[in-house]
Amino acid sequence: MPELSLANKNIVVTGGAGFLGRQVVAQLLEAGADRERISIPRSSDYDLTQMSACEAVADSQDIIIHLAAHVGGIGLNREKPAELFYDNLMMGTQLIHTAYKAGVEKFVCVGTICAYPKFTPVPFKEDDLWIGYPEETNAPYGIAKKALLVQLEAYRQQYDFNGIYLLPVNLYGPEDNFNPRSSHVIPALIRKVYEAQQRGDAEIPVWGDGSPSREFLYSTDAARGIVMATQKYSDADPVNLGTNHEVKIKELIETICELMGFEGKLVWETDKPNGQPRRCLDTERAKERFGFEAQMGFRDGLEKTIAWYREHADEIE
Catalytic residue annotation: 141
Q: What are phi and psi of 311, to 5 degrees?
A: -70, -30
Q: Which helix (H) or strand (E) holds 163?
A: strand 163-168
User: CB count, 10 Å around CB of 200?
Assistant: 7
Give me the helix-helix angle, 298-312 and 185-199, nearest 10°: 50
Burial status of residue 7 (CB atoms within 10 A of its CB: 0-12, 13-18, 19 or more): exposed
Q: Is the CB of residue 73 less than 8 Å from the CB of residue 185? A: yes
Residue 310: CB partners within 8 Å, gap ≥ 6?
194
Burial status of residue 304 (CB atoms within 10 A of its CB: 0-12, 13-18, 19 or more): middle
